[in-house]
Amino acid sequence: MSSPRTLAEPRAVAARALDSSTQVRRVVLARGALVASALAATPLAVACGGAGGSTGGAPSKVAGKVTILSYQSSSPKWDLQQQMYADFNTKFQSQGLQVDFINPGSDSSTLDKAVTLHVAGTPADMWEWPRLWRELEGVIGDLGPYLKRDKIDQAQWIPEAISAFRQGDKVWGMPVSISADAMAVNLDLFAQAGVKPPPTDPDDRSWTMDAFLDAAKRLTKGTDQFGFSGSYTGGVSWMNGPPYFGYGPVDLPNRKITLNTPGFQQGLQFWADMATKYHVQPYGDEAAKLRSIPSQHIFTTGKIGMAVIYNLAERPNFKWAIAALPYTPSPQQPKNVSARISVHALFMDSNSKNKDQAWEVFKHWLKPENGARYVLSDGHTVPPLVKSAFDITSKEYQDRMGTDPKAYFLQAQRSKVDGWLFYLLKDWAKARTDIDPLWTKVTTGQMSVGEFATQAQSISERTATF
Q: Give residue limits of the domains in the chain.
A: 5-178+342-412, 182-338+425-463
pLDDT band per the 50, 70, 90 thresholds, residue 331: confident
Name the fold adopted by 182-338+425-463.
D-Maltodextrin-Binding Protein; domain 2 (3.40.190)
Mean pLDDT of 322-345: 95
414 within 8 A of 335, measured Cβ to Cβ? yes
More confident residue, 44 or 228: 228
b/e string for 18-50 if b means 16 or more Cβ within 10 A?
A: beeeebeeebeebeeebbeebbeebebeebbee
pLDDT attached to residue 107 = 66
User: Residue 58 in contact with residue 363, Cβ under 8 Å?
Assistant: yes
Measured between alpha carbons, how far is residue 154 from residues 147, 262, 362 in Å?
A: 8, 36, 14
Residues 239, 422 contacting (CB under 8 angstroms): yes
Residue 4 pLDDT > 80: no
**Strands 97-102 and 64-69: what pairing?**
parallel
Q: Name which residue leads in pLDDT, 395 or 13.
A: 395
| pLDDT score of 29 more than 60 | no
Residues 233-264 have pLDDT tens digits of 999 999 999 999 999 999 999 999 999 999 99
Q: What is the rounded distance in angstroms from the CA atom of residue 277 to the CA atom of residue 15? A: 39
pLDDT in tens, 404-456: 999 999 999 999 999 999 999 999 999 999 999 999 999 999 999 999 999 99
pLDDT score for 61: 78
Q: Is the pLDDT of residue 42 over 60?
A: no
Confidence class of residue 31 from pLDDT cuts 50, 70 and 90? very low
- For residue 54, is pLDDT > 50? no
Per the CB < 8 A criterion, the answer to whether 239 and 419 are in contact is: yes
- At 348-380, the pLDDT tens digits run 999 999 999 999 999 999 999 999 999 999 999
3-state class (DSSP) for residue 426: strand
pTM of the full predicted structure?
Answer: 0.86
The secondary structure of 26-88 as a DSSP string is HHHHHHHHHHHHTTTTSHHHHHHTSTT---PPPPS---EEEEEE-S--STTHHHHHHHHHHHH
Residue pair 278/216 in contact (Cβ under 8 Å)? The answer is yes
5-178+342-412 shares its CATH topology with 182-338+425-463: yes
d(CA 59, CA 358) in angstroms, rounded, equals 13
Q: Would the pLDDT of 172 be above 70?
A: yes
CA atoms of 302 and 284, how far apart (whole Å): 19
- Of 99, 104, 102, which Cα lies nearest the Cα of 370? 99
Report helix angle 262-276 to 428-443, nearest 10: 40
Lowest mean pLDDT among 104-108, 196-200, 287-291, 412-416: 104-108
Task: Kindly indicate the confidence band of residue 59, based on its pLDDT and cuts at 50, 70 and 90.
Answer: very low
Task: Say which amino acid occupies 351.
Answer: N
| Residue 463, amino acid | T
How large is the average pLDDT for residues 184-188?
Answer: 98
* Residue 465 backbone phi and psi in degrees, to 5: -130, 160
What is the SS3 assignment for 118?
helix
CATH topology of domain 5-178+342-412: D-Maltodextrin-Binding Protein; domain 2 (3.40.190)
Strand, coil or helix: 143: coil
- The angle subtended at Cα 391 by Cα 7 and Cα 304, nearest 5°, is 50
How do 174-180 and 340-348 pair as beta strands?
A: antiparallel
pLDDT band for position 162 (cuts 50, 70, 90): very high
